Structure 1
Amino acid sequence: MCAAVLRLPPLPTIRDLIRLYRLKALKQLSQNFLLDERITDRIVKSAGDISGHYVCEVGPGPGGITRSIIKKHPRKLIVIEKDERFLPTLELLQEASQGFVDMHIEINDVRDFNFENALSEVPKEDWLGSPPPINIIGNLPFSISTNLVIRWLKAISQKQSAWAFGRSKMTLTFQKEVAERMKAPVTHKQRCRLSVMCQLWCNVKHKFTIPGRAFIPKPKVDVGVVTLEPLKEPFVDLPFEMVEKVLRHFFNMRQKISLKSALRLFPEELREELGEKLFILADVDSNARPFEITTEEYARLCYAYKLLCDDYPQIVDFDFRIRRKDIIGSY
């Protein structure tokens, strides 16, 4: 049964507030305002039933998505905004929702934000049980979106930050091409390192696409709305840096056979022996190209690499890029 929609008192439109406070989107912060309430409502609907939940909104700007969140009556809403110019418009929403939604405004860079402290009152759930009543929702700046999701995937792998409480869900916007990459299945032309990183730890869904013309100013690309729900049983339980290292090497040579990419994981004197051994241990075809390897097969390759690291400790810190620079610098 759907929760009742909270009706806010009459407020100026987001467009009017932008004019009133003379707010301009800053290019250096990758700001684009979303003014269509039907679209912001649809973004929040994609997050599922958030009534009574603890919601963290990233980059609320003038408060378009914020209004749609408030209407769904979360128990607590924390908006994290780096640009203090938006404080007056957010305070207006805070005042309007007083007595209905416990709204907190944090003027901060989300990359420095401590989710565990902010959500300390939320009861922790067993990872294998139901997700906690936590939702992260945001119209992310293009300039930090990929970096941010990688940070959060690492936190998921370590069950830290917002994921110290369980499998907290995310509903986020990305450039359409990035959204497609995150979801891209095996053999898809968009499949890349980001695809596998996301799919190793999360169930990824590209919910819908927002045309660029819906934003002010209009970006050069369309925007994809993506949900990420951490898996009960991730494909890998290994150090995040190790997994990232393996995938980075494989996708550095996306169109080559995977053996060529994998060889660079090892010092030259061990390269031929361990390169072949890696694929034998993982039971993966070494002639497959990186985008032709399944997520499960990548998990096996990561575990095989871990076994080789245990047997050959000298390869753990090996980085062919550093060795290559040393060789070039010697000439």
Structure 2
Amino acid sequence: MIRLPPLPTIQEIIRIYGLSARKKLSQNFLLDLNLTRKIIKTAGNLKDCCVVEVGPGPGGLTRSILNTEVEKLIVIEKDGRFVPSLEILSDASHGRMKIIQGDILGFDMSDVVPPEYTCQWQDNTPNIHVIGNLPFSVSTPLIIRWLNSISTQSNLWSRGRAAMTLTFQKEVAERIIAPPRSEYRCRLSVMCQYLCNVSLKFSIPGKAFVPPPKVDVGVVKFVPRREPLIRQSFALVERMNRHLFHHPNKFCFKSLGTLFPPDREDLIWTMVELSGVDAQIRPFELTNEQVGQLCNAYATIIGQEPDILTYEFRSQKSAKERRQKVTKVLALEQRLLSSSFPNENIDSEKDQR
């Protein structure tokens, strides 16, 4: 087993290179190597694996990864200030580590993972793992983007059902794993769970990070499913969940109504009938399977009336609000004019006489 030689501590690296966490990038360093080892242990056996680490920063998690039997480590870091400190680890890694400077939001990880790690989707998970202490500001949009890739088996997931071990704000982590009827149940819960088996492994107190965030952090593991629980396109499932959870605590009938024009209430009842889902259940009570039934019913309706897909509740609502605002402004202007020239009509009548 290859281990790293003695190196300066992370604290020393930060001091040597004058590194600091940037608030605008939502950076929080995890310097406690006991915790970084625990995260890596949670990821599972990394022997002979290719690991992609997202946002390594000064390299706390990176060290713990390199102290396993990982075969190849690719780190992707947006902030160029950390490259010199990561190069120290790369030089000590016996050729196992590669540094890429780039923005993970627009990065195709399949370009850097060698093809020999590829497995068929129906096989066991490949020896590929994504690990990251994600900045809070990008964690949710990033996981949605990756879920989309999982649904189409693209990006890194063209190599197979690669697992992920990632950090999130504790509340976001609770939302990701929330079962039906949970107070945390939301759109993100369904989007993650219909494509992946998800589990909250453990929590880390905010004070363990530098600088300490005001919230605790949850470590979540994702393993893509062989078969998604909902067999519709990612865009349709996302649209359905966005509308369902627009009114999470009201009956589904009201949420489903936002999918259709106001004069097409008949389609809501058609959807309820096709799906077999009770219209008086609340969205946060729905199981993933029930959401799938609603998606199937919606897809059937769209197949019969394609124009329905272009209807946007929010744009209609915005147009109505704009009209109401214009009406109020015009009414206010009329009142102001009337109060400014109270005798105008009287003077006009006198002139006519």
Corresponding position: 1:197 with 2:191: yes
Task: Check whether the contact 2:3–2:68 (CA below 8 A) recurs between aligned residues.
Answer: no
- After superposition, the C-alpha distances for 1:37-80 in whole angstroms (9 at most, x for unaligned) are 11000101111111111110000000000000011121111100
Using the alignment, how far apart are the partners of 1:20 and 1:173 within structure 2?
Answer: 27
Structure 2 residue aligned with 1:315: 308
SS at match of 1:174: strand
Using the alignment, how far apart are the partners of 2:7 and 2:171 within structure 1?
Answer: 35
Structure 2 residue aligned with 1:325: 318
Counterpart selection for 1:211 from 199, 205, 210: 205
Greater per-residue helix proportion: 2
Structure 1 residue aligned with 2:81: 85
Task: Check whether the contact 1:56–1:136 (CA below 8 A) recurs between aligned residues.
Answer: yes
Q: Which moved more, 1:117-126 or 1:44-53?
A: 117-126
Structure 2 residue aligned with 1:234: 228
Using the alignment, how far apart are the partners of 2:43 and 2:274 within structure 1?
Answer: 40
Task: Check whether the contact 2:49–2:128 (CA below 8 A) recurs between aligned residues.
Answer: yes
SS at match of 1:205: strand
Cα deviation, residue 166, structure 1: 1.1
Using the alignment, how far apart are the partners of 1:34 and 1:298 within structure 2?
Answer: 38
Counterpart selection for 1:188 from 182, 185, 189: 182
- After superposition, the C-alpha distances for 1:154-212 in whole angstroms (9 at most, x for unaligned) are 00011100111111100000000000010000000010000011001000000000111
Corresponding position: 1:253 with 2:240: no
Using the alignment, how far apart are the partners of 2:108 and 2:182 within structure 1?
Answer: 36
Using the alignment, how far apart are the partners of 1:13 and 1:325 within structure 2?
Answer: 54
Using the alignment, how far apart are the partners of 1:165 and 1:191 within structure 2?
Answer: 31
Structure 2 residue aligned with 1:179: 173
SS at match of 1:79: strand
SS at match of 1:122: helix
Task: Check whether the contact 2:55–2:75 (CA below 8 A) recurs between aligned residues.
Answer: yes
Structure 2 residue aligned with 1:283: 276
Counterpart selection for 1:126 from 116, 120, 126: 120
Structure 1 residue aligned with 2:343: none
Using the alignment, how far apart are the partners of 1:328 and 1:210 within structure 2?
Answer: 44
- In the alignment, structure 2 segments of 5+ residues that lack a partner are 328-353
- In the alignment, structure 1 segments of 5+ residues that lack a partner are none
Cα deviation, residue 120, structure 1: 4.0
Task: Check whether the contact 2:231–2:292 (CA below 8 A) recurs between aligned residues.
Answer: no
Using the alignment, how far apart are the partners of 1:54 and 1:120 within structure 2?
Answer: 8
Corresponding position: 1:53 with 2:52: no
- After superposition, the C-alpha distances for 1:248-288 in whole angstroms (9 at most, x for unaligned) are 01101111111100011011222x11111112211111101
Q: How does 1:150-189 map to 2 (within 5 A)?
A: 150-189=144-183
SS at match of 2:297: helix
Q: TM-score, normalised by structure 2?
A: 0.90
Q: What RMSD, in angstroms, separates the aligned Cα atoms of the two structures? A: 1.1
Cα deviation, residue 324, structure 1: 2.3
Counterpart selection for 2:7 from 3, 8, 11: 11
Counterpart selection for 1:141 from 118, 128, 135: 135
Task: Check whether the contact 1:122–1:165 (CA below 8 A) recurs between aligned residues.
Answer: no
The structure that has the greater radius of gyration is 2
SS at match of 1:78: strand
Task: Check whether the contact 1:33–1:217 (CA below 8 A) recurs between aligned residues.
Answer: yes
Task: Check whether the contact 1:157–1:237 (CA below 8 A) recurs between aligned residues.
Answer: no
Counterpart selection for 1:302 from 295, 303, 326: 295
Percentage of matched positions with identical amino acids: 49
Corresponding position: 1:71 with 2:64: no
SS at match of 1:155: helix
Q: TM-score, normalised by structure 1?
A: 0.95
Using the alignment, how far apart are the partners of 1:83 and 1:52 within structure 2?
Answer: 28
Using the alignment, how far apart are the partners of 2:15 and 2:49 within structure 1?
Answer: 32
Cα deviation, residue 146, structure 1: 0.4
SS at match of 1:316: helix
